[in-house]
Amino acid sequence: MTADRLLRAALFFALTTTGLLAHDDEAHHWDEPFDFPDLPGYLTLVSDLHQHSVFSDGAVWPTIRVQESKRDGIEVMALTEHLEYQPHAADIPHPDRNRSFHLAHDHAQDDLLVVTGAEVTRSMPPGHINAIFIEDANRLIMDDPMAVAQEATRQGGFLFWNHPMWLPQKPDGVSELTPLHEQMIAAKVLHGIEVVNHGRYSEEALQIALDHDLTIMGTSDVHGLIAWEYETYPHLHRPVTLIFAEAQTAPAVREALFDHRTVVWYTDTLIGRQRWVEPLTRACLDIAPVGYPNDHLALKVVVSNSSSTPFTLRNRSAYALHRTADIFRVPAHGQITLEFKTREKLEAVDLSFEVLNAIIAPATHPTLTWEKLTVGTDASAAAEH
Ligand SMILES: [Zn+2]
Ligand SMILES: [Zn+2]
């Protein structure tokens, strides 16, 4: 253990023992790349599509963003420099606004897709809007925000409204569409919305996405170092958007975003449309009724989690749990053993769980049923003491 890791471990211990951290299994975020299982027909790509470098108001060179992404297991990234806010321009003159993209792109290896991007940076309305998959950021420097959005869309861009809950632009923190946003949505030049930005979640933004067919996005909007901004209480990991794409290529990722195939992962919570949260949860969790140990009528069920997020589940099955309370946690990349009082020996069983760390609409958590699970014959593991 290095001194740095020792220090982190000591900090983690201090936080957990003082109750500042509710959980005991977050430590892996500090060491492991983010990892989520693929879905049938789709790769699950971990993306962070809103980041800054010294080419706008960020504090690092673009290649550092690439290295951070590699460390975190990010598979798709964009540098989205402010077009209109260039505080380092005197020290780092760069007439070509695509420069940070090229530096990052040339530094990245095959396992990281770097796509083009820029942040249109206006007061409200419309506030800040990211345009990614654009051809040329230089041609987006113009006055009228509607004209910028039209040009970015004409270039093939995917545009999303950044931090609609940001207090400096919306002092009540309540994300709300303005008439200009409604015009942009109607003109199909605004395609997504950040439901999560940095350390902010907006359930109003989630509702806007659902009501107006916008893609649900979550990003770090990092300016400093990821390691300093996200790996201590309370964020623990940078917010990312999981994208379900047919390939790790710009056209496939772009198509997935226009098709709303996203789930945001933020503070160990999955936020997205039920259509994608549900298959992702099913891919992460394996629920295995292994048998009735010792001939007792308590069905032993092993729940395994193959993902980077812990799950918090509530039992909604027809059977009560033995030992465990109705709400329990499945650690990231870990497993737990449950016992269900089925009252008779079953050969197959339906088990239902409400996924409390998944959000499919404001304050709404999905309940998933695993149907007709075959009960195994493993009667070996004695559980009762
Ligand atoms: Zn912004
Ligand atoms: Zn930004």
Query: What is the tens place of the pLDDT at every residue in 292-347?
Result: 999 899 999 999 999 999 999 999 999 999 999 999 999 999 999 999 999 999 99
CA 119–ligand 1 middle distance (angstroms): 7
- Using the predicted structure, report yes or no on whether residue 228 has a pLDDT greater than 90: no
Task: Report which bound ligand comes closest to the CA of 127.
Answer: 1
Confidence of residue 224 (pLDDT cuts 50, 70, 90): very high
Instruction: Identify the pLDDT of residue 295.
Output: 87
Minimum mean pLDDT among 24-33, 67-76, 196-205: which range? Answer: 24-33
How far apart are the C-alpha atoms of 1 and 53, rounded to whole Å? 31
Same-domain status, 91 and 48: yes
Residue 18 backbone class (left: φ over 0; alpha: ψ -120 to 50; beta: rest): alpha
Task: Kindly state the average pLDDT of the residues 172-182.
Answer: 98
Are 52 and 198 contained in the same domain?
yes
The Å distance, Cα 35 to ligand 2 centre, comes to 25
pLDDT digits (tens, 9 = 90+) for 152-175: 999 999 999 999 999 999 999 999
Protein residues near ligand 1, an ion, with CB under 5 A: 128, 162
**70 C-alpha to ligand 1 centroid (Å):** 24
Q: Is residue 244 part of a domain?
A: yes
Q: How far is the CA of 197 from the centre of ligand 2 (A)?
A: 9
Q: How does the average pLDDT of the chain come out, rounded?
A: 91
* Residue range of the domain that includes 356: 284-374
* 290 and 362 inside one domain: yes
Instruction: Quote the ligand 2 centre to 382 CA distance (angstroms).
Output: 54
Distance 238 CA to ligand 2 centre (A): 14
Residue 23: per-residue pLDDT: 45
User: What's the token pair of residue 364?
Assistant: 């709404």
Q: What is the pLDDT of residue 360?
A: 98
Q: Tell me whether residue 385 is in a domain.
A: no
Do 14 and 125 share a domain, yes or no?
no
Cα(120)–Cα(117) distance, integer angstroms? 10
Give domain status of residue 273, yes or no: no
| Same domain for 204 and 96 | yes
Ligand 2 centre to CA of 18 (Å) is 34
Q: How many domains does the chain have?
A: 3
Q: What is the DSSP string of 215-261?
A: EEEEE--B-S-HHHHHSSTTT-S--EEEEEESSSSHHHHHHHHHTT-
User: Which distant-in-sequence residues (6+ apart) come within 8 Å of 31 by Cβ?
Assistant: none
Say how many Å lie between the CA of residue 87 and the centre of ligand 1. 14
What CATH number does the domain containing 342 carry? 2.60.40
Say yes or no: 53 and 137 in one domain: yes
Q: What is the 176 CA–ligand 2 centroid distance (Å)?
A: 19
Q: What is the pLDDT of residue 354?
A: 98
